[in-house]
Amino acid sequence: MPENSVSIKHVTKRYGQFTAVDDLSFDVAKGEIYGFLGPNGAGKTTTLRMMLDIIQPTSGAVSILGSDSAIAVRRRIGYLPEERGLYRKMKAADSIAYFAQLRGLSRARAKSRAYELLEQFGLEKFAKSKNEAMSKGMAQKVQLLSTIAHEPELLILDEPFSGLDPINQQTLEDLIREQRRSGRTIIFSTHVMQHAERLCDRFLIIADGKKRFEGTLTQAREKFTRRIHVRTGAPISALKNLPGVLAARADEMARGAETAYELELTKEADPQEFLRAAVNTGIDFSRYEQAGATLHDIFVALAGDAPDLNDKSALVREAAE
């Protein structure tokens, strides 16, 4: 068996003169949760569709579960598309069983598996409810259970958190973790950084069809500015003059003679050298706390220059997605 569940090598997708995905390469290891992050129109869905052999790349190579075609290994893959869809008149349990049968389970096993999943996730009372009668969040859960019913090795989830309330988002996060504990590989796309920060072993940031970063959160933080939170009576001008400080801003309202500040240091700066310099210039801190960049900070730094979706080229990109 291959060590990587997915391998993408120099994949490009063009629509006429527009390049939706530009020379993209990355690997997804077996058993990891891999985040596919980017703004709307970045090329995420186009890449996932090439991965699944729904559309063909203009150039480059795709390997999935050791095959050069997802169609050949389709029963080992679970795919939740961004466009949600269930047969409106079908009951929840029947929906799950139907999709399980399409992916190779016998009728009897598919039916029993549907009820197992509904009970496992506390949805057994909705087993005979029609899809059209369920809330959006409930219907999305049913579609997700339909995606995992055949116990696939690889799960590909396109914007799975879209439209879910916070409680259902947490339920989905728990399900993704459970799937990883069962040895499955999970790839999910999102533009909501909090989910990726909590879930991903590694992630890729894509913007304007190009890879901007691939790696762990720790590796990403090493490439970006450090943040320090301090409380002091010193003026902000004195803080800005300390070595390595890129920017300083008041973090909250002043308390007495002191004010809390958030300072941004360059990635090359040594926080201990900053602290020594402050002491040597007579600046005292009643609070000093280092903080790494958040994934949101990193995402904005890498993908924040993506084109406005109101312009013509971005509309073409959105159509390609």
Is the pLDDT assigned to residue 317 strictly greater than 60?
no
Instruction: Tell me what the mean pLDDT of segment 215-224 comes to.
Output: 84
Q: What is the pLDDT of residue 252?
A: 66
Concatenating the DSSP letter of every residue in 265-285 gives: E-TT--HHHHHHHHHHTT---
Q: What is the pLDDT of residue 94?
A: 95
**pLDDT per position as a tens digit, 100-146:** 999 999 999 999 999 999 998 888 999 999 988 888 778 888 999 99
Confidence bin at 254 (pLDDT 50/70/90) = low
Alpha-carbon dihedral angle through residues 165, 171, 176, 182, given to the nearest 10 degrees: -170
Is the pLDDT assigned to residue 251 strictly greater than 80?
no
Q: Which of 174 and 312 is assigned the larger pLDDT?
A: 174
Q: What is the pLDDT of residue 310?
A: 34
Provide the mean pLDDT of the chain. 87
Token pair of 307 as six digits? 């084109």
**pLDDT per position as a tens digit, 108-118:** 999 999 999 99
Q: What is the pLDDT of residue 312?
A: 36
**pLDDT per position as a tens digit, 280-312:** 999 999 998 887 777 887 888 788 754 433 333
Instruction: Tell me what the mean pLDDT of segment 237-245 comes to.
Output: 92
DSSP state of 91: B
Handedness of CA 307, 299, 78, 140 (dihedral sign): negative
Q: What is the pLDDT of residue 305?
A: 58
Q: What is the pLDDT of residue 292?
A: 72
Concatenating the DSSP letter of every residue in 30-56 gives: TT-EEEEE--TTSSHHHHHHHHTTSS-
Token pair of 110 as six digits? 């598919």
Return d(Cα 214, Cα 167) in angstroms, integer: 29
Domains contained in the chain, CATH given: 4-220 (3.40.50.300), 225-292 (3.30.70.260)
Return d(Cα 122, Cα 116) in angstroms, integer: 10
Confidence bin at 31 (pLDDT 50/70/90) = very high
Is the pLDDT assigned to residue 319 strictly greater than 70?
no
Is the pLDDT assigned to residue 55 strictly greater than 50?
yes
Place of tokens 């001008």: 237
Is the pLDDT assigned to residue 209 strictly greater than 60?
yes
Q: What is the pLDDT of residue 297?
A: 79
